[in-house]
Amino acid sequence: MIEKLIRPNIKGIPPYVPGKSKEEIAQEFGLDPEKIIKLASNENPFGPSKTAIDAIGTASSKIAVYPDSVARDLIAELSKYLGIKKEQIITGNGSDEILDLTVRLFINEGNEAIISTPTFSVYESLIKIASGTPVFVPLKLKKHGFKYDTHGILDNINEKTKLVFICSPNNPTGNLISEEEVKKILERETIVLIDEAYTEFCGSSLIGLINEYENLIITRTFSKAFGLAGLRVGYGIACKKIIDYMFRIKVPFTVNTVAQKAAIAALKDRQHLKTTIETTKKGRDHLFVELSKIDSIKVYPSNANFLLINVKNTGKTAGKIAERLFKNGIITRDCKNFRGLDEYHLRVSIGTMEENLKFLKEFRHICQ
Ligand SMILES: Cc1ncc(COP(=O)(O)O)c(C=O)c1O
């Protein structure tokens, strides 16, 4: 009966595949979870600011009452941090919620959304759930890594196009889009969503365009550089009109009290953020240089806290390599589920220096 009642367009949508957890791997391979290192979901290996953890303790006494549904204090703090007016910011249960709100605002049956592949799979799922049509424009692979195909995107914009997704830095390829390229897309009559989940690691942002283009939405998160993935806080920045519409359709109370307080504390601790970014970039550069020395693989330059590796010339699939790494207590991400990538791509998140070195040692051994 359920199969008969369910909306037909939902049936072909696969569930989201997250990176494996330490507990899963510990159980599967009989390992001590404490000794496992997770480099699979681009989290912050240094954890959140200590002041955020303290704020969680304090806020826990307030959980008998509903949270502030519009997260006033958090939005005020974000406004100061970003230099953007409060009425141009909305918070959500992870940036995933802002992606969902965007799709629900703009996509109807028959509408098209442009997605550059490979990228974060949630965009495609949301469009399909909304009965829209994803139009895929592959990234171009150049000598120095992946690049957005801006001409391809522009060529595919037509009267059915309502939304263009740009992920910058892109997950899993790590490349950026330039301001010049984005402006060409923004000149068209479509919403452009720029997902800046990893922006802190690249040192640049397209937020400066927000007051120039009313069709621009930028999403950001506390899950990566701020180390609060488990609390689920993200935010969107757009013109006041879009933010007002988002509030109209948003389910209330999705960002809980503890998460709001922790995010405020995390925002205020600039030193922790700075240390996280600097250490991660140092680790990324070191890992990139060392991986580049392995003849049988190709590592792509990245502006984020992860690196994408092509392992085809090792003669092993990324799945096989990931499995060998699992057995040694290291969790990485086999990218075969990313549309546009084959079974020979592995993504590794940047961990602490110690974790990076452990990964490097085992990975080198497996590739030889
Ligand atoms: C590109 C990108 N956007 C959004 C998200 C979701 O982030 P959040 O935890 O804020 O929902 C992720 C998570 O991995 C991501 O990689």
State which of 239, 268, 297 marks the end of a domain: 268
pLDDT for the residue numbered 361:
97
Query: Best of 195, 337, 350 to mutate for ligand 1, by most ligand atoms within 8 A of CB?
Result: 195
Residues 252 and 325 in one domain: no
Nearest CA among 186, 191, 198, 179 for reference residue 284: 198
Residues 231 and 295 in one domain: no
Residues 263 and 308 in one domain: no
| Cβ of residue 234 lying under 6 Å from some atom of ligand 1 | yes
Q: Which domain holds residue 37?
A: 18-47+271-367
Distance CA 192, CA 180 (A): 14
Nearest CA among 186, 193, 177 for reference residue 238: 193
State which of 250, 268, 286 marks the end of a domain: 268
State which of 237, 268, 299 marks the end of a domain: 268
Can you tell me which atom of ligand 1 is nearest the CA of 223?
A: 9
Kindly give, in sequence order, each residue whose CB lies less than 8 Å from that of residue 156, ignoring residues fewer than 6 positions away. Answer: 112, 114, 135, 137
How buried is 152 (Cβ within 10 angstroms: 0-12 exposed, 13-18 middle, 19+ buried)? middle
Query: Which whole number is the average pLDDT over 135-145?
Result: 94
| Cβ of residue 82 lying under 6 Å from some atom of ligand 1 | no
Residues 165 and 61 in one domain: yes
Query: Best of 44, 78, 96 to mutate for ligand 1, by most ligand atoms within 8 A of CB?
Result: 96
- For residues 137 and 124, the answer to whether their CB atoms sit within 8 Å is no
Which CATH number characterizes residue 29's domain? 3.90.1150.10
Query: Which whole number is the average pLDDT over 57-70?
Result: 96
The length of the chain in residues reads 368
Which CATH number characterizes residue 75's domain? 3.40.640.10
Q: Is the peptide bond before 172 cis (omega within 30 degrees of 0)?
A: yes
| Cβ of residue 349 lying under 6 Å from some atom of ligand 1 | no
Residues 75 and 182 in one domain: yes
Round the average pLDDT of the chain to a whole number and report it. 96
pLDDT band at residue 14 using 50, 70 and 90 as cut-offs? confident
| Cβ of residue 338 lying under 6 Å from some atom of ligand 1 | no
The residue whose CA is least distant from atom 8 of ligand 1 is 94
Can you tell me which atom of ligand 1 is nearest the CA of 99?
A: 4
| Number of domains comprising the chain | 2
Residues 25 and 100 in one domain: no
Nearest CA among 349, 316, 314, 319 for reference residue 335: 319
Distance CA 193, CA 243 (A): 13
| Cβ of residue 98 lying under 6 Å from some atom of ligand 1 | no
Distance CA 141, CA 116 (A): 12
Taking the centre of ligand 1 as the mean of its atom positions, its distance from the CA of residue 133, in whole angstroms, is: 21
Kindly give, in sequence order, each residue whose CB lies less than 8 Å from that of residue 355, ignoring residues fewer than 6 positions away. Answer: 37, 39, 45
Residues 258 and 336 in one domain: no
**Which residues are 308's β-sheet partners?**
347
**Which residues are 138's β-sheet partners?**
117
pLDDT for the residue numbered 144:
85
Task: Reduce the secondary structure of the chain to three states and give it as a string.
Answer: CHHHHCCHHHCCCCCCCCCCCHHHHHHHHCCCHHHCEECCCCCCCCCCCHHHHHHHHHHHHHCCCCCCCCCHHHHHHHHHHHCCCHHHEEEECCHHHHHHHHHHHHCCCCCEEEEEECCCCHHHHHHHHCCCEEEEEECEEECCEEECCHHHHHHHCCCCEEEEEEECCCCCCCCCCCHHHHHHHHCCCCEEEEECCCHHHCCCCCHHHCCCCCCEEEEEECCCCCCCCCCCCEEEECCHHHHHHHHHHCCCCCCCHHHHHHHHHHHHCHHHHHHHHHHHHHHHHHHHHHHHCCCCCEECCCCCCEEEEECHHHCCCHHHHHHHHHHCCEECEEHHHCCCCCCCEEEEECCCHHHHHHHHHHHHHHHC
Query: Which whole number is the average pLDDT over 265-288?
Result: 98
Identify whether 277 is part of a domain. Answer: yes
Identify whether 9 is part of a domain. Answer: no
Identify whether 1 is part of a domain. Answer: no
Q: What are phi and psi of 38, to 5 degrees?
A: -110, 110
Residues 295 and 146 in one domain: no
pLDDT in tens, 310-339: 999 999 999 999 999 999 999 999 999 999
Residues 168 and 156 in one domain: yes
Residues 78 and 220 in one domain: yes
Distance CA 63, CA 140 (A): 49
Query: Best of 223, 305, 347 to mutate for ligand 1, by most ligand atoms within 8 A of CB?
Result: 223
pLDDT band at residue 9 using 50, 70 and 90 as cut-offs? confident
pLDDT in tens, 164-222: 999 999 999 999 999 999 999 999 999 999 999 999 999 999 999 999 999 999 999 99
Residues 149 and 129 in one domain: yes
pLDDT for the residue numbered 19:
79
| Cβ of residue 97 lying under 6 Å from some atom of ligand 1 | no
| Cβ of residue 95 lying under 6 Å from some atom of ligand 1 | yes
Residues 133 and 201 in one domain: yes
344-353 burial, b for 16+ CB within 10 Å, e for fewer? bbbbbbbbee
Query: Best of 116, 125, 171, 222 to mutate for ligand 1, by most ligand atoms within 8 A of CB?
Result: 171
Q: What percent of the chain has pLDDT over 70?
A: 100
Please determine, for residue 348, whether its predicted confidence score (pLDDT) is greater than 90.
yes
